[in-house]
Structure 1
Amino acid sequence: MTADRHGHLMSDTGTEALAAYEQALDDLLFFRPRVAKAAQEVRAAAPRSVMGQTLTAYLGVLGTEERDAAEAREGLTRFRSGLDTARLTPRERMHLTAATAWLDGDLHTAGRTLADLTLAFPRDALALFAGHQHDFLTGDAVRLRDRVGGALDAWEEDDPHRGPLLGMYAFGLEESGHYERAEEVGLDALARHPRDVWGIHGVVHTYEMRGRFTDGIRFLDARTDDWSEGSLLTVHNWWHYALFTLETGDTARVLEIYDAALHHDGSAGVAMELLDAAALLWRLHLAGDDQSARWGRLADTWESRRDGPYYAFNDAHAVMAYVGAGRVAQAQRLVRDRERWVATEPGGSNRAMTADIGLPVCRALIAYGRQDYAAAADLLLPVRHRLHHFGGSHAQRDAIQRTLVEAALRAGRTELARTLLSERIHLRPVCPYNWSAKARLEEQLGDPARAAAARERAAAQASG
C-alpha cells in the first residue's frame, strides 16, 4: 500500500496514481483549473483508488453546480457498489462518509466528518481544503478560522503546503473579525507563494472590511500578474477590484471591469462567477444606475442554466438578475418553485437554507424591484443577523444588507435607517456608501447641515 508524502496510507493507489494525486492536491490548493485533469489522471491510473474517487467527489460539490454534483454522486455511487469498506483505512472511510453526505445534500454531516478527519489527521490537506470551503459555503466563520488554525501546529514551517494553509487561515481570521492578524497571516502566505490566489483573496477581504479600498487597489495593482488571469479565482478577485473601484465613485471603470472580466460572451457561465456579476450590478441598481442591457444578458445566462433547488445563495443572485432585468415574473416563478420544493422536501441542508433565509431574501428582492420598499424592509429585517446561514462572505452578503438600508430610506422608515446606518458607520467608519446614505437620511430628517457634512465626508473618503 502506498502512502502520500505526509504518511497517509492510500488503498489501491500505485506510484503513478500517487504522483497524479499529489499534483492534483497542489493544483487544488492553488486554484489551478488543471486540477480536474489531474484528478482524471488519478482515476485513470488507479480506478479503485479511494482518495482519487473522493477527490473527484469533492470537486463535484465545491463549485455549487447542481449538474456537477449529480454526476459526481453517480460516480461515487458506482464506485461504492460492492466496495469492501472494511479493508480501507479509517481515514479513507471517513472521506467516503464526508463525500457521500455532501453529495446527498447533508452538508452538516459532511462538515462534522471533515472536522473529525482533521482532528485525527491534521496533515490531510484534502480534508482541510474541503472543510474550509464547506465552512465558507455554509457561512460558518468560526469553523472557517479554527478548522485550519487547529491543524497548523502539525505542519512544519518548510512544508510547501503550509503557505496555502496560511492563506486559508487568513480568510477565516478575516471573516471572524481579526482583520490585522488576517492581513499579517495572508502576507506571510504570499511571501511563500506569491501566486497563492486564495491568500491574495484573504488579504483583499481585510482591506474591504476596514474600508481600505485605495490600499486594496494598490495591493492588487502591485500583484496583477499573480492573480488577474488563469486561476479558478480570477473572476472573484476582479470582483473585489471592482468593489474597491466602486467606492471611489469611478463607475466607468467598474463597468470596464465587469465587461472585461465578470460577464461577457466568453464567460464560463458557472454559478460562482454569475453571482459575482449579479452582486456587482445590484450595487449599481441600488444606487439608481440603470444597466438594463447588462442585466438582460446576465438574466439570460441564469435562465439558460435552469437550476433546480440546489444552493439557496445562488438562487438569491439569480433573482437579483431577473429583478434587475425587469423580469419580475421570472423571479416570482423561481420563488414559487422553491416554495413547492420546500413543502415536499423532507430534509437536507439546502432545504433549511432556502426556507429560513433564501426565500425571505428572494421575496425581499422582488418587493424592492416592485418599489414596495416597506415590504422589502419587513422581509429582510428578521433575517439580517442570520444571513450567514445561507453562505457567502461578509463582503458578498453586504449587497443584501445594503438592500435593507435602501429599502428603509425609500420607505421613509427613518428610525430603522438611522439604526442601520449607525451600526454600519461605527463598524466601518471609512465607507463612502455609508456616509452618502447618511446624507440622504439627514435630508429626510430635515437637517441640511448634517446632510452636507455627511456628503462632504463621503466625497473626501471616495477621493482617497
Structure 2
Amino acid sequence: MTADRHGHTMTDTGAEALGHYEQALEDLLFFRPRIEEGTQALLRAAPRSPIGHALAAYLGMLGTEEAAAAAARATFGAFRAGLDTDRLTPRERMHLAAAGAWLDGDYRTAGRILGEIAVAHPRDVLALFAGHHHDFLTGDALRLRDRVGGALDAWDEDDPHYGPLLGMYTFGLEENGHYEHAEQTGLAALERHPHDVWGIHGVAHTYEMRGRFADGARFLDARTDAWSDGTLLTVHNWWHYALYTLETGDTDRVLEIYDAAVHHEDSADVAMELIDAAALLWRLYLAGDDQGVRWASVADAWERRADGPHYAFNDAHAVMAYVGAGRLARAERLVADRERWLADTPAGTVPTNRAMTAEVGLPVCRALLAYGRQDYAAATDLLLPVRHRLNDFGGSHAQRDAVQRTLVEAALRAGRHDLARTLLSERSWLRPVCPYNWSVKARLEERAGAPERAAAARERAQAQAQAAGVPRTA
C-alpha cells in the first residue's frame, strides 16, 4: 500500500496513481480546470482506487451540475458493485459512505460523515475541501467556519497545504461576520500562496460586506494575474468586482465587466457561472434597468440546460433569468415542475434538495415570478416568511442579497412603507456603508412625503458612491 503526503494509507493506489492524486489535490485547492483531467489520469492508473473514486464522486457534486452528478453516480455505483470493503481502511470506507450519500442526494449524511473524517484525520485535505464546499452549498455558515477551524491545530504551518486551509477558513470567518479576522487570515493565506483564488475570494467578500468597495477593487487589481483568467473561480471573482462597481452607480462599467468576463457568446453553460450572470442582471432589473438582450442570452442558456430538480439555488436563478427576459410562461413551467416533483416525493425523505425546494426554493421562485408580474404584494408575502432562512438553500450572504433586495423593492412598490422602513433600518445598521441602502431610503421618504429626509438620504448615497471610487484599471 502507498500513503499520501500526510500519511493516509491508500488501498489499490500505486506510486503512479499517488502522484496523480497529489497533483489533483493541488489542482482542487487552487481551482485549476485541469482537475478533471488529473482525476481521470488517477483512475486510469488505479481503476480500483477508493480515494480516487471518492474524489471523482465529489467533483460530480461540487459544481451543482445535474448531468455531472448523474454520470458520477453511475461510475461510482459500478465501482462499488462487488467491492470488498473489508480490504479498505476505515478512512476510505468513510469517504465512500460520504460520497455515496452525497450522490444519492442525502446532503446531511454526507456532511456529517465528512465531519467525522476530519475529526479522525484532521490533515485529510480531501475531506476538508469537500466538507467546506458542502457547507457552502448547503448554506451552513457555522460548519463552513468550524470544520476547517477545528482541524488547523493539527497542521504544521510549513505544510504546503496550510495556506489553502487558511483561505478556506477566511471564507468561513467572513460568512459568520468576523470580517477583520477573515481579512487578516486571508492575507496570511495569500502570503503563502499568492494564487490562492479561494483565499482571494474570501477577502473580496470581506470588503463587500463592510462597504469597502474601493479597497476591494484595489485588492483585486493588485492580484489580477492570480484570479482574472484561467481558473474555475474566474467568473465569480469578476462578479465580485462588478458588485463593487455597481455600488458606485457606474452601470456602464458593470456591463463592460459583464460582457467581457461574466457572460458572453463563448461562455460555458455551467450553473455556477449562470448564477453569477443572473444575479448581476437581477440587481439591475430591480433598479428598473432593462437589459433585454443580455437577459435573453442567459435565459437561453438556462433553457438549454433543461435542469430537473437538482439544486434549489440554481432554480431561483433560472427563474430570475426567465423573468428578466420576459419569459414568464417558462418561469411558470419551472415552478409547476418543481411542485409536481414535491407532490411525488414524500416529505422527510432524501433527497435533501426536497426540503430546500419546498421550504425556501419554491417560495423564492414564486416571489420572483410575482415580482415579474408586478404583483408586488404577493412577492412581499412570499418572501417575508423565508427571509431569515434563505441560507437553507445555499449560497453566500452576498449571493442571497439579490433575494433580500427583491423583498425591499417589493415592499416599497407594494406601498408597505412600514415594512420597507424596517427592512432598510436593518440593512443600514448592519451595513452602514452601502449606497444602495441609502438610495432606497431616499425613494421611501419621497413616497412618504418627507422631501427633506429623502434629500438627506440621497446625499448620503451619493457621497458613499463617490467615496467608493472604484478604479477602472482591471
TM-score range, shorter chain: over 0.9
- C-alpha distance in 1 between matches for 2:362 and 2:331: 11
What is the CA–CA distance in structure 2 between the aligned matches of 1:133 and 1:311, rounded to whole Å?
Answer: 14
Q: What is the CA–CA distance in structure 2 between the aligned matches of 1:114 and 1:176, rounded to whole Å? A: 21
Q: Does 1:125 align with 2:125?
A: yes
Measured against aligned partners, the alpha-carbon deviations of 1:228-271 in whole angstroms (never above 9, x if no partner) come to 00100000000000000000111001001111111111101100
Q: What's the offset of the Cα at 1:200? A: 0.2
Question: In the alignment, is residue 459 of structure 1 matched against residue 462 of structure 2?
Answer: yes
In structure 2, C-alpha distance between the alignment counterparts of 1:199 and 1:315, rounded to whole Å: 28
Residue 400 of structure 2 is matched in structure 1 by 397
Shift of 1:72: 0.3
Give the CA deviation at 1:180: 0.4
User: Are 2:111 and 1:111 aligned?
Assistant: yes
Code of the residue aligned with 1:82 in structure 2: it is G
Q: Which structure is higher in RCO with an 8 Å CA cutoff and minimum separation 6?
A: 2
Question: Where in structure 2 are the equivalents of 1:3-402 lying within 5 Å?
Answer: 3-346=3-346, 347=349, 348-402=351-405
Counterpart residue type for residue 425 of structure 2: S
Query: How far does residue 345 in structure 1 lie from its aligned partner after superposition?
Result: 1.4
Q: Partner of 2:444 in structure 1?
A: 441
Structure 2 length-normalised TM: 0.98
CA RMSD, 1 decimal: 0.5
**Pair 1:416-2:419 in alignment:** yes
Distance 1:66 1:171 in 2: 26
Aligned-residue identity in percent:
77
One-letter amino acid of the structure 1 residue matched with residue 446 of structure 2: E
Range with bigger deviation, 77-86 or 344-353: 344-353
Per-residue Cα deviation, 1:439-458 (whole angstroms, up to 9, x for no partner): 01111111100000000000
Q: Report the alpha carbon displacement of residue 333 of structure 1 after superposing the two structures with TM.
A: 0.3
C-alpha separation in 2, matches of 1:394 and 1:300: 27
Deviation sequence 1:191-210 (CA, Å, 0-9, x none): 00001000000000000110
Structure 1 residue identity aligned to 2:42: V
3-state SS in 1 of match to 2:449: coil
Distance 2:298 2:81 in 1: 41
2-side partners of 1:260 and 1:12: how far apart? 45
Deviating above 4 A after TM superposition, structure 1's stretches of 4 or more consecutive aligned residues are: none
Question: Structure 1 CA distance, aligned partners of 2:197 and 2:120?
Answer: 28
Secondary structure, aligned partner of 1:330: helix
Deviations 1:4-45 (A, max 9, x none): 010000000000000000000010001000111110111010
Separation in 2 of the partners of 1:9 and 1:218? 44
- In the alignment, structure 1 segments of 5+ residues that lack a partner are none
Instruction: State the shift of 1:362 in Å.
Output: 0.3
* Residues in 1 aligned to 2:183 and 2:166: alpha-carbon distance in whole angstroms: 11
**Deviation, structure 1 residue 185:** 0.2
How far has the Cα of 1:87 moved from its partner? Answer: 1.0
Q: Distance in 2 between matches of 1:266 and 1:71?
A: 25
- CA deviations on 1:273-312 (whole Å, 9 max, x unpaired) are 0000000000000000000010011101100100000000
Give the match's secondary structure for 1:463: helix
TM-score (norm 1): 1.00
Structure 1 residue identity aligned to 2:452: A
Q: How far apart in 2 are the matches of 1:5 and 1:299? A: 45
Measured in 1, the distance between the counterparts of 2:304 and 2:3 equals 44
Q: Distance in 1 between matches of 2:222 and 2:164?
A: 20
Which residue identity lines up with residue 370 of structure 2 in the other structure?
A
Aligned residue pairs: how many?
Answer: 464
Aligned-partner residue type, residue 398 of structure 1: D
* Deviation (angstroms), 1:159: 0.3
Secondary structure of the corresponding residue to residue 400 of structure 2: helix
SS in 2 for 1:7: coil
2:358 maps to a residue whose letter is: A
Inter-partner Cα distance in structure 2 for 1:383 and 1:86: 46
Q: Distance in 1 between matches of 2:49 and 2:325?
A: 47
Give the 3-state SS of the residue equivalent to 2:167 in structure 1.
helix
Alpha-carbon deviations, 1:147-206, whole Å to 9, x = none? 000000111010000000000000000001100000000000000000100000000000
Aligned partner of 1:429: which letter?
P
Structure-1 separation of matches of 2:95 and 2:222:
39
C-alpha displacement of 1:427: 0.2
Aligned to 2:472: none
Work out the CA distance in 2 between the residues paired with 1:447 and 1:13. Answer: 72
